Amino acid sequence: MILDRVKKALLVRLADLRFHSGTELAAEFGMTRAAVWKQLSELQTMGLDVTAVPGRGYRATMPLELLDAERIRAELSEPARALLGALDVHDLVDSTNDILLQSSGANRPQGTVCLAEAQTAGRGRQGRTWVSPIGANVYFSLLWRFDESQRVAGLSLAVGVAVMRALERLGLAGIGLKWPNDVLLGERKLGGILVEMSGESHGACTTVIGIGLNRYLARHRGIEIEQAWTDLSQVIPTHRLPSRNLLIAFLLNELLPLLASYAATGLAPWLGEWRRFHRLQGRAATLYLADRAIEGTIEDVTDTGLLILRCKDGICRQFASGEIRLRVEARP
């Protein structure tokens, strides 16, 4: 979906975070002030936070920054640039993962990246919605094909490590992972990874690796999120937040080389680092599966990324999916 010309131009204008009067905007776009207001209201429903002050005009009240393919390319490392297949920048999509999973992804080259300003139906793990307002966070998906689907085991954990590396390169402290691949800042969720596959269970397959990272999410936009969440603006002043375009480039600099080598290496070279970033090692937790909840202690992961949970009966069992919640042990 393409934002209409006026909405796009309004976003560009408001990205300077200064006040713009209704009269100025109306003259620039050749429309009435009421029509400008209507356009801004529609942008607000897409996630734009804007304040209107009588006598001064409109001002974006969020660190709005539009996606810029050239800026992203300019920040790519040599290896990442060589591995990038295509960089598709969209205004508004249902879900960047869906774009690449649907038939439109079938003819896209290896290493295609699909970026969006906003998602209307962003998806998270466990059937959750990924809140994706316009212009301030990161939402993208990456397409990578594997000759043998078995080679993909554990990939989502390795992707978590790549995200950690990118965030560390940006100087971010206090980050961590929660099995299988929640991205944490402190104890709260900063981002998520959704790896989806199409193809045979034995044979060639296409993977789509979707990444969402909260750079700035206004409190009122996050009220429907069930998990404890956070964004980068909680630890970095808004005017010093890393650029969205730079964040994306840093993530691609880590992710593309990882994908290129993964079929040959598997998870093994990433496991040590994954364990270092995992926040829940040794913690008492409950694992929620579709039909039951299992209490235990988080022991480790296997060399293909399965969770090892020591259950109440003392036996260690392995799990491929589920949602962990920490348990607060009762005092003796």
Contact range with ligand BTN by CB under 6 A, out of 34-42, 78-86, 189-197, 286-294: 189-197
125 binds ligand BTN (CB under 6 A): yes
Q: How far is the CB of 179 from ligand BTN (least distance, A)?
A: 12
Contact range with ligand BTN by CB under 6 A, out of 120-128, 159-167, 292-300, 321-329: 120-128
Which residues in 48-77 contact ligand BTN (CB under 6 A)?
none
Per annotation, catalytic residue among 81, 125, 151, 279? 125
Q: Is 178 a catalytic residue?
A: no
97 binds ligand BTN (CB under 6 A): yes
Nearest-angstrom CA–CA distance, 227 and 230: 10
Nearest-angstrom CA–CA distance, 34 and 36: 5
Which residues in 196-255 contact ligand BTN (CB under 6 A)?
210-212
Q: How far is the CB of 202 from ligand BTN (least distance, A)?
A: 27
CB contact at 8 A, 190 and 214 = yes
Contact range with ligand BTN by CB under 6 A, out of 45-53, 116-124, 217-225, 298-306: 116-124
Q: What is the DSSP string of 305-327?
A: --EEEEETTS-EEEESS-EEEE-
How many other CB atoms sit within 10 Å of the CB of residue 56?
13
Q: How far is the CB of 120 from ligand BTN (least distance, A)?
A: 10
Residue 125 structure tokens: 């793990």
Report whether the peptide linkage leading into residue 54 is cis, meaning its omega lies within 30 degrees of zero.
Answer: no
DSSP letter assigned to residue 150? G
For residue 307, which of 329, 273, 283 has the smallest C-alpha distance? 283
Residues 135-164: x where in contact with ligand BTN by CB under 6 A, - otherwise, as a string: ----xxx-----------------------
Q: How many helices (H) does the chain have, and how many strands (E)?
A: 10, 14
Name the site residues for ligand BTN (rule: CB under 6 A).
95-97, 119, 122-125, 128, 130, 139-141, 182, 192-194, 210-212
